């Protein structure tokens, strides 16, 4: 492949989660100098209609704004696109169809990573938005591996997940971290051996409160970062 590698990041959902992906790409890249780092362009225009609200039927669709971002990244000649927002994968088919550059799929990458874990856990907790849970990407992939997915209960979504996630979007990382750590603990108490942090706001929040449950967490943002790094390292070889 003669085309130069240039990763496009379709970000802004929210900005902190996008920053978290990029930070993980930088931290994970073996580099002796600037020029060894992954070439990338970050499209971070957060004025995209709220994904959770749209999927709940309470707001306009983010699809036109997402398609515009896909078009802009392709116009720059990106070779691949990463989407550091699980919920936005609801529109993955339309975005992939509109993009010359292939779109990485965060749940596919996570399932492939999980399949390589030995021994496989029997029960995995999922921390994700209503939209991601309703889409069922993670549950299907876990079930295919013979793993039982454990989901948050209604009141945990209302009292911990949603306020925790929106606190991160406001920059209140500690508050968000405390709420999301409580939710993670409840899933563990119900038998989860590992936790998938399937909303990109969750990893920086758990980090902000130094949650010990990070030790059993599977972080799709980290897996997405590693996929970007691997593409670059393959190219440099």
SS3 string, 103-116, reads: ECCHHHHHHHHHHC
Inter-CA distances, 138 with 33, 58, 80, 129, 171, Å: 37, 24, 22, 12, 27
59 lies in the binding site for its own copies (CB under 8 A): no
In this structure, what token pair is assigned to residue 93? Answer: 């088919």
71 lies in the binding site for its own copies (CB under 8 A): no
Q: What is the largest CA-CA distance in the chain?
A: 52
Between helices 137-144 and 106-115, what is the axis angle to 10°? Answer: 20
43 lies in the binding site for its own copies (CB under 8 A): yes
How many residues touch its own copies (CB under 8 A)?
Answer: 38
Q: Closest separation between CB of residue 43 and its own copies, Å?
A: 6
Catalytic residue (one of 150, 157, 196, 199): 199
Is there a catalytic annotation at residue 85?
yes
Q: Which residues pair with 123 in a beta bridge?
A: 148
Tell me which of 3, 39, 60, 174 binds its own copies, using CB under 8 A.
39
Catalytic residue (one of 40, 69, 85, 192): 85
User: Whole-angstrom Cα distance, residue 72 to residue 77?
Assistant: 9
Tell me which of 171, 190, 191, 234 binds its own copies, using CB under 8 A.
171
Tell me which of 36, 60, 230, 234 binds its own copies, using CB under 8 A.
36
Chain contacts with its own copies (rule: CB under 8 A): 6, 12-16, 19, 22-23, 26-27, 29, 31-48, 50, 72, 75-76, 166, 169-171
């Amino acid at each position: 492949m003669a085309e130069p590698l240039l990763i496009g990041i379709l970000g802004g959902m929210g900005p902190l989660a996008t920053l978290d992906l990029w930070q993980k790409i930088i931290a994970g890249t073996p580099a002796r100098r600037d020029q060894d780092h992954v070439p990338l362009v970050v499209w971070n225009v957060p004025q995209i209609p709220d994904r959770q609200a749209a999927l709940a039927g309470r707001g306009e669709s983010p699809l036109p704004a997402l398609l515009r971002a896909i078009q802009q990244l392709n116009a720059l000649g990106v070779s691949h696109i990463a989407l550091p927002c699980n919920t936005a994968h609801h529109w993955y088919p339309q975005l992939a169809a509109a993009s010359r550059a292939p779109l990485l799929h965060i749940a596919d990458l996570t399932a492939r990573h999980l399949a390589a874990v030995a021994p496989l856990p029997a029960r995995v907790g999922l921390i994700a938005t209503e939209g991601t849970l309703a889409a069922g990407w993670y549950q299907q992939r876990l079930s295919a591996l013979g793993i039982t997915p454990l989901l948050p209960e209604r009141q945990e979504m209302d009292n911990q997940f949603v306020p925790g996630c929106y606190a991160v979007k406001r920059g209140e990382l500690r508050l968000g971290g405390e709420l999301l750590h409580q939710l993670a603990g409840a899933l563990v108490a119900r038998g989860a051996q590992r936790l998938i942090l399937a909303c990109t706001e969750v990893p920086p929040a758990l980090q902000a409160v130094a949650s010990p449950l990070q030790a059993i967490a599977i972080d799709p943002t980290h897996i997405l970062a590693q996929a970007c790094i691997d593409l670059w390292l393959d190219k440099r070889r």
